Structure 1
Amino acid sequence: MFNALLVEKDEESGLAAASVKQISPDALPDGEVTVSVNYSTVNYKDGLCMSPKGGGLVRSYPHIPGVDYAGTVEQSSDERYKPGDKVVLTGWRVGEAHWGGYSQKANARADWLVPLPQGIDTRQAMAVGTAGFTAMLAVMALEDHGLQPGHGPVLVTGAAGGVGSVATAILAHLGYEVAAVTGRPETADYLKSLGATTIVPRDELNETTKRPLESETWAGCIDAVGGAMLARVLGQMKYGASVAAVGLAGGAGLPATVIPFLLRGVNLLGIDSVMQPYDNRVRAWKRIATDLPMDKLEAMIHPAILSDLPQLGADILQGQVKGRVVVDVNA
């Protein structure tokens, strides 16, 4: 038997609640690889999966959330993995449609796993998690479309969140000038400690404008907000610059015009981390191991244990989680 955070639905009320329970290994779903989980983390999707109605993500109950986890291979029927290997899992709808990492053990399909590269351990991997993995995918996409240090400031919206925090640290480490957007003035010192050179109050970009183009300001952008802010930012991009869209904290709508694309050659790049192909996952994790300063990563970490998760799930849905939560599932 082992511990897991189990979400169970009350048949009378139809609402779900999460608590730490003892689970039998026989209850785990099938998978080629059994992982002894070391750490997990907390993402917005985890908050939804722990909510009373499952956020529309949970297919059936009982359910174990946790869209990310890192650990050690216990046994494997796939030749790519052997006992003792360190692995990380993000995406593939694990923790939503499939049981996830809020558990001391997990079974996974071999195709879902990525070997941890040298230079990063399982705790650090979960300080990175889907949020940091997405941030690196966004940085790589901007670079693949021509962004280089010296081109001008790179804007990061939602900078104090998980994706924004890691993106800020990576960009600063690579030599970029980072302008960090936040609606929480108290996070300014935190963002500067990650390497941000300019703090942009959220209200400055939340104001809508009827002008389809403004002064060319940003050489690149990693946007976690979407909505009106993304529309505004598109009109401020330099000629040929790109915006990597990673989130929709400000809404799924895009009240924009095509003018920035037609007159300035601006690129809007969609970043998906869930179904990302294996080769690009490996590339991203290798870049994380070399281009994310681990001292900055350490400054983002807030430790937690399984019993903390229901409250943390509620907090992240309210935008009250800063940086990266690392959950020790064995504590």
Structure 2
Amino acid sequence: MTQTYRAFVVRKEDDATQLGYEEHHVPEPQDGEVVVRIAWSCVNYKDGLATLPKGGVVRAWPRVPGVDMSGVVAASRDDRFREGDQVVCTGFDFGVNHDGGFAELCCVPGDWLFHRPDGLSLRDCMTFGTAGFTAALAVQQMERNGLAPDNGEVLVTGASGGVGSMAVAMLAKLGYRVAAATGKTDAATFLTGLGAESILSREEVSAEPRPIGKARWAGAVDQVGGRILAWTLSTMAYRGVCASTGLTGGPGLQSTVFPFILRGVSLLGIDSVMCPMAERGPLWTRMAGELRPSDLGSITTEIGFDDLQASLATILKGGVTGRTVVRVAGD
């Protein structure tokens, strides 16, 4: 193994951050740790926030961001993993309070790793990444709370983003009728290609919500929060199920109790970061099977390791459609 590796590093000075590539020394794993040579990573909105001085993600600098990675074990002091094993890491403190996946190598607790699921390549795993896992978790939790294809239409907000596009594709694959809401006027063809039956504009779903509106949605996956989540809740059908997965539109929520006490609506909080490892394996197996989008490649744009800074700036501006995978050393 070489003695150094390249890493994309965020440093904070006063009220500003500086981004750049640095050479780091290869660490020696301690008991329970695994060194992984990273093949692929991906770009998430959270990774963009990690580059901002007040993004609310990173609390200690310098930091290597990147909340997802897939690669090959280079050294291990965890009996569950051996040199040459193909592994994946998403969530926990990876890329937040622990150096993450925007590097050629990482050293992580074995408790954060799982073996690459059968049926998915290392690149496929990063096409899903945290976004795909979050979407799958939302679908699973909605189903556990009564959602079924015969119940009616399912709304996905922020549909052209990572979580949204994955949710549209997964729900359509399962036979749901999907309505996709997006602020990107040029995303309609992309979303109908994923299986959406109808497209709503951002203006439609961000209208001033009534205390209780016309009942429309049997289910909803909301990646936006704020006023759009309030409007979505007010338009849920009787015993509808809404999964809250993100806050790209802001963390606030001004709603009323009427959707809950008059229509029996359920609002489900979806957290993929600290999801117990025992639950991850079965869901990733499902992602490799019935939840796998029919054309996974159509959701994906690939960039090189040296293209990270531009891609992170773009995702913060809302300029990314679908998923962006990062070729670190992947074949």
TM range (shorter): over 0.9
TM-score, scaled relative to structure 1: 0.94
CA distance in 2, matches of 1:57, 1:215: 37
Cα RMSD for the two superposed structures: 1.8
Could you tell me which residue of structure 2 aligns to residue 161 of structure 1?
A: 161
Q: Check conservation: 1:20, 1:306, Cα contact below 8 A.
A: no
The alpha-carbon distance between structure 1 residues 27 and 59, as it changes in their structure 2 partners (threshold 3 A), is: farther
Unaligned runs of 5+ in 1: none
Could you tell me which residue of structure 1 aligns to residue 94 of structure 2?
A: 94
Q: Deviations over 1:288-327 (max 9, x none)?
A: 1012335522111111122211111111111111111110
Shift of 1:175: 0.5
Shift of 1:30: 8.2
Unaligned runs of 5+ in 2: none
CA distance in 1, matches of 2:83, 2:166: 31
Q: Which amino acid aligns with 2:25?
A: S
Could you tell me which residue of structure 2 aligns to residue 65 of structure 1?
A: 65
Shift of 1:236: 1.3
CA distance in 2, matches of 1:201, 1:35: 43
Q: Which stretch shows the higher mean deviation, 306-315 or 23-32?
A: 23-32
| 1:260-299 → structure 2 map (5 Å cutoff) | 260-299=259-298
Could you tell me which residue of structure 1 aligns to residue 258 of structure 2?
A: 259
CA distance in 1, matches of 2:166, 2:275: 19
Could you tell me which residue of structure 2 aligns to residue 181 of structure 1?
A: 181
CA distance in 1, matches of 2:241, 2:222: 11
Q: Deviations over 1:19-64 (max 9, x none)?
A: 222221038898611111110011112112223x262332333321
| 1:13-32 → structure 2 map (5 Å cutoff) | 15-26=16-27, 32=33
The alpha-carbon distance between structure 1 residues 291 and 25, as it changes in their structure 2 partners (threshold 3 A), is: same
CA distance in 2, matches of 1:273, 1:237: 24
Could you tell me which residue of structure 1 aligns to residue 205 of structure 2?
A: 205
Q: Which amino acid aligns with 2:10?
A: V
CA distance in 1, matches of 2:293, 2:255: 38
Shift of 1:82: 1.8
Q: Which amino acid aligns with 2:288?
A: A
2:326 aligned counterpart, secondary structure: strand
CA distance in 2, matches of 1:299, 1:176: 20
The alpha-carbon distance between structure 1 residues 249 and 193, as it changes in their structure 2 partners (threshold 3 A), is: same
Q: Which amino acid aligns with 2:21?
A: V
The alpha-carbon distance between structure 1 residues 20 and 197, as it changes in their structure 2 partners (threshold 3 A), is: same
The alpha-carbon distance between structure 1 residues 321 and 198, as it changes in their structure 2 partners (threshold 3 A), is: same
Could you tell me which residue of structure 2 aligns to residue 233 of structure 1?
A: 232
Q: How many positions carry a matched residue from both structures?
A: 327
Could you tell me which residue of structure 1 aligns to residue 137 of structure 2?
A: 137
Shift of 1:213: 1.7
CA distance in 2, matches of 1:141, 1:328: 32
Q: Deviations over 1:167-222 (max 9, x none)?
A: 0000000100000001111000000010101101111121113x322222111000
Q: Check conservation: 1:30, 1:108, Cα contact below 8 A.
A: no
Q: Which amino acid aligns with 1:328?
A: R
Q: Check conservation: 1:30, 1:107, Cα contact below 8 A.
A: no
2:50 aligned counterpart, secondary structure: helix
TM-score, scaled relative to structure 2: 0.94
Q: Check conservation: 2:226, 2:254, Cα contact below 8 A.
A: yes
CA distance in 1, matches of 2:83, 2:154: 42
CA distance in 1, matches of 2:207, 2:108: 45
